[in-house]
Amino acid sequence: MSDPNFNNNNVTPPPKKGGTSIALIVGGLVVAVIVLYWLFAGGNGVDNADMVGEETNINVKAGAESAAESIEDAGDAVEAEVDETAAEIDATAAEAEAEIDATETIEVEGEAEVVQ
């Protein structure tokens, strides 16, 4: 009889190959992180040395007078727009009336009218 613990197979097992797919994945992730860093943090920094020598003056006109002036300006703009629209409507109505007056009606027997 044969011994079950003894390997009668004389073929050597194939050598293990591994780690290449993991290395490829890790390398791809490293390249992706570098590209993202380059896109989001690359070279657009503000140089503070250029800003130090200049003076900045900011004037804020706060108060009821400036708010009232802004409201008046907005109201004037709205009134001008309404007047312009009303003039356009009047011109269109006048054109429509002139077109209606220019048509000729021919009466025929009965209740029908033919408009040319």
pLDDT of residue 16: 76
Per residue in 10-39, pLDDT (tens digit) is 777 777 776 678 888 999 999 999 999 888
Average pLDDT, integer, range 83-87: 93
State how far the Cα of 69 lies from the Cα of 62, in Å rounded to an integer.
12
DSSP output for 51-94 = HHT---------SHHHHHHHHHHHHHHHHHHHHHHHHHHHHHHH
Average pLDDT, integer, range 73-86: 91
Q: Is the pLDDT of residue 66 over 70?
A: yes
